[in-house]
Structure 1
Amino acid sequence: ALQRVMPLVAQRGLGVIVGGPYSSGVLVGGPNFEYAPATPAVLDRVARIRAVADRHGVSMKAAGLQFPLANPAVAAVIPGASRPGRIAEDRAALTEVIPNAFWHELRDAGLVDPSAPLPGETDQ
């Protein structure tokens, strides 16, 4: 989708609404990825992302919400709050300041696609 769908969407002036930014919960401590039990490989990747986040003082919730919004084809992200208190958490995560070094470390470590737009990049 990143190479084929997103550029076409942006070119046509449309927008994608991203649902499930936490990958069915695995990014924020849940056991599932894409609505099935996460595999050991997925859990390892999440642990590596979490280690980078911890080094930079970034919450996984903020990273999960802000990353898709860097793509110019994304019009909105639906966090899928399961109870009213989560709405305030999601709002705080959207406004959390994340250093550019965090995103670049993820890219350099191969934890995000090298062609994915990163939050904070000015050449989008």
Structure 2
Amino acid sequence: TPDGIDVYFDNVGGDILDAALTRLAMHARVVVCGAISQYNNATPVKGPSNYLSLLVRRARMEGFVVFDYAKRYAQAAQEIAAWIGAGRIKVKEHVVKGSVDDFPETLGMLFRGENVGKLVLELA
């Protein structure tokens, strides 16, 4: 990001968020949707140590909860489906063929980072 990050959508938190904060462009926007790196901590949740980057870059950080937009889900589904159909959005799926018995191992792939795109267990 030689010119900095204009918009950063964070769903990880922790060290990844800290790294992104060091690369913000002027007047950047940071959207916090989750912090999966912190969910299972046995110690207190780690907040961003590079938060002063928000001040220096005159940036803004705001939370985003998808449930706030529940009334617009149907509209979003229609628009996104049209974008996928038109090729404006490329969908990546990692399909694992198996049975219900394969679910625990398949789910583990998600948390080990062994998939690219949406992880799907296709039942035989």
TM-score for the superposition, normalised by structure 1: 0.24
Larger of the two Rg values belongs to structure: 2
Which structure dedicates a bigger proportion of its chain to strand? 2
